[in-house]
Amino acid sequence: MTSSYDSIYSRFLMKIRDYDFASLSEPNATEEMLNWLHSSLSEPYIFRIFDTTTFTADDEIAELSYTLINPINEYHDQNFVEELLAYQMVVEWVMPRIHNTTLVNQMITNSKESKWYSQQQHLGQLRELRDDAEYKVRSMLRDRGYISNSYLGKYNGKT
């Protein structure tokens, strides 16, 4: 089974609103997304769903070729992998925003009445965003594991 990088990137872009990222040139944006994709694939809890003997990530043709350890059907498996990687890319996208020195330094605006902005509150919101994306990834993996658990019975196409 194969998934193009573009289909994964498209799903990822639907999950974020980042105007700074949108202003990047296409080659720079693609390079950033490629790095996030590779970081996502390196996570052990994600990589373990693939049969390692058939897994390849070919950056030249921008395509993943894989077989899942517990396949259900080609349509579902492909959508599952693309959605899972897109959510993990959100986690990778938000991490540099959490580990940022501007959140450490207190900021003041120059106005009539100086205002202090709470980096702690902003950091909390970023961590919440990261945690939500990580939870989504883990729950997708967990739910898929329930479907293919031999103790509970194999998925038979019925819900």
Query: What's the whole-model pTM score?
Result: 0.76
152 DSSP assignment: T
Sheet with 2-4, strands from edge to edge, namely 2-4, 63-65, 56-58
CB atoms within 10 A of CB 151: 5
pLDDT at 144: 78
pLDDT (tens digit, 9 = 90+) per residue, 31-42?
A: 999 999 999 999
Domain boundaries, the chain: 2-147
pLDDT at 143: 80
Query: Can you list the alpha helix ranges (DSSP code H) found in the chain?
Result: 5-13, 19-22, 26-41, 44-47, 74-98, 119-147
Residues of the chain with pLDDT under 70: 99-119, 146-159
